[in-house]
Structure 1
């Protein structure tokens, strides 16, 4: 039996910075930019008077693992997808439309060029698949690091005006659009000891919600046009983000569990596999990047939003979040730097 030598895949260290760029740039559409990658800075043609900006970072072993506890390999394509999804979600949460992005990619020297190519394909697929038609990748940066790190900055415009977190008023209805709890359930599946080869399709679909989140990009501008009073995306968990809205607006948020349980029922395959109450993912799971918005009583709420509660006046010194009238800890959910009380 003849042993054939294993073909060595080229790495970023083999090609150098320009060689890496030569691989990435043809995969990214910059045709909508006034000036795309290649100069010292990119340029966007701005039609309005104001540009909104958001930045976020994905770090290996903090925000994703190359191989999860379940043995599932986190694909470079999915990391590229998520780097776009989580940032365009922030623009969406202010009622805006994403128009441009720059990406800083730091890599270990032994990262394969195929990984880089797949990452760029994921970025491009997210722009198209999420419906961010006006978004153009206009530049970025490459660097060497001991672990993979992706920092993405996205710019956008608000045709119907900015929607902030501080506009909720007593009597407003509280509603969500998009997924809630799916990404949290997906994270639990990915990092469990339930090996991925044994997942059924329903479980695999939930796990994919963590790897490739799908923020409802048309819903942000539609909510702004309808007259939403406050809005933010659910990135760190419904309770934690509802608490942020309550604090910013100096109001109380009152959630109704009966409505939320309808969302929880969709997570039954993960709950059965792991033996976990799916409501924990609904209340505390983040990274679905759905929208949490408040609407005055005289406003017609867009049909993709589901009313899950209401806003009431703040009675004491603290803005509170309640579920069925019971106060819950607003610091629940995800925090990069949890204090002792959160642990």
Structure 2
């Protein structure tokens, strides 16, 4: 006889409530970090108009970071932290990983109950399928989405950056100091570059040296164009010289490089699209089939070749993804 607080119906309602709360929070965070910035030119400019201080601007613009040395999965945290920073997310990688783990656990417990397949989850193969299904929805799909948003945002940053250098050069030649020229760039350009450079200005107003603020920008974005810009400004601050001439030459180099990058992308676009489809489609297909017709897999879990087959497919999938990424990764 089950105690009242362990009644299966009561447990089901609790799980559904927790799932709705987590989904609501995840939907709000996704809207805030993805669609919210698109409706404003620059969050920093709005805060300045409201009279916010430099400390308040830094707190609002800078994303939460994670101490990798204190985490249980340092490699995963480091990778997720970089990709989330490039995608424009403001929450920490530790919190995102906690949300994904919670969603995975909820789906792993909730789906067998709602799908009416709890009686079929009696073997190691069936448990493995549930784990793979929950991890596919709670971990794989969010990581694929973050990678997609990061790649799209980086392309937009690279497209905006030569124009930003032109505005910066004109400001310097007009007599503006470097901070004034950066202010001009932030006020003239839209997001995402405006917010990234706005954070540089906020850090400088808060007491960061120019070099340290630019290094932080390079760590957040991690693109070759930004790295060349940071190195150029850092060398100029130590050796002297005309920063406007240096940045003017850098803008020409970046534009020439961008033309070459576009040619390479055009030639490699078929391979990259194939790699993206072959990476995402097995996960999406498995999730779709298992969610609509779980017996397609569960009827075969007792076969002696089922577990070796699943492990072999997972190994071949990972190996294929690694090989495809090596083949389509072209440095320019």
Same fold (TM over 0.5): no
TM-score (norm: length of structure 1): 0.22
User: Which of the two has greater helix per residue?
Assistant: 2
Q: Which has the larger radius of gyration?
A: 2
User: Which of the two has greater strand per residue?
Assistant: 1
TM-score (norm: length of structure 2): 0.22
Higher relative contact order (CA 8 A, sep 6+): 1
